[in-house]
Amino acid sequence: AGAVFPPPSVHCLSSSASHGLKMDANVVVMGTESVGKSALTVRLLTRRFIGEYGDIESIYSHSFIVDGRETTLNIWDSPYSETPLFEKKVQWAEGYILIYSICDRASFNTVSRIIHTIKTTKDYLNADSVPIVIVGNKRDLHHRRTVLSEEGRLLALNTGCDFYEVSAAENYHSVLTVFHGLVNRMKTDTKLTAKRPLRFKGIVKSMSAVFARRRTDSF
Ligand SMILES: Nc1nc2c(ncn2[C@@H]2O[C@H](COP(=O)(O)OP(=O)(O)OP(=O)(O)O)[C@@H](O)[C@H]2O)c(=O)[nH]1
């Protein structure tokens, strides 16, 4: 089956309520295979590390309070592929979490390429600061490290992104910090300060069937 766009449903796993200003934003989590995209997303949503996540691609709606403001993120845990669908995801999103594994240099190189694609697609080429957070995951596997922290930090500095190193396996709070960091970056974008309704509604539904060609498309 071919992939469709926009995605058919939002998977609501958690919510919270507050008064005052609200911010809603679409966020996509990207990176090559097995870098920990699902682990990071599930850690944020459930505070847990499950270990194995299967082949499910979903969008999750998650609300939390950041600096006193209710913030709802529609988070798309997405594989990397250089298909037209990839560009549509980039267009859909207003914030980006780009993950690599500190044990996998190829995954780090791919993050550089994704940053370039986002910047050209969203016309951020001349922006000093962009709503992109680079995440070096699997920090607990430091004995297998092939990408230095300094390399991640330098990439972020040179591209106007934020940078964090985390272990989705070991730590919830560092993962929360990543998403807070992204929200703070997106807050500077005035388009996002007004409350908007969720763009996608519907029953909880796995998108794995919709993305049946995923493995062949992915790196
Ligand atoms: N040691 C360690 N393993 C991790 C960490 N994060 C994820 N993993 C493991 O890495 C493997 C891949 O994790 P996933 O979260 O499925 O990675 P993904 O990027 O979503 O993978 P795909 O959806 O296949 O592209 C799993 O075996 C996880 O248990 C981490 O921080 N440390």
Whose alpha carbon is nearest atom 6 of ligand 1?
36
Residue 37: pLDDT band with limits 50, 70, 90: very high
CA distance 48 to 204: 20
Tell which atom from ligand 1 comes closest to the C-alpha of 141: 1
pTM of the model: 0.82
Beta carbon of 34 within 6 Å of any ligand 1 atom:
yes
Q: Is residue 204 part of a domain?
A: no
Q: What digits encode the pLDDT tens for the residues 161-205? A: 999 999 999 999 999 999 999 999 987 654 444 444 444 433 233
Q: Is residue 8 part of a domain?
A: no
One-character DSSP codes across 170-192: T-HHHHHHHHHHHHHHHHTSGGG
Whether complex ipTM tops 0.90: yes
The domain containing residue 107 runs over which residues? 23-190
Total domains present in the chain: 1
Tell which atom from ligand 1 comes closest to the C-alpha of 79: 25
Q: What is the CATH number of the domain that holds 89?
A: 3.40.50.300
Q: Is residue 27 part of a domain?
A: yes
Q: Is residue 184 part of a domain?
A: yes
Beta carbon of 137 within 6 Å of any ligand 1 atom:
yes
52 CA to middle of ligand 1, Å? 7
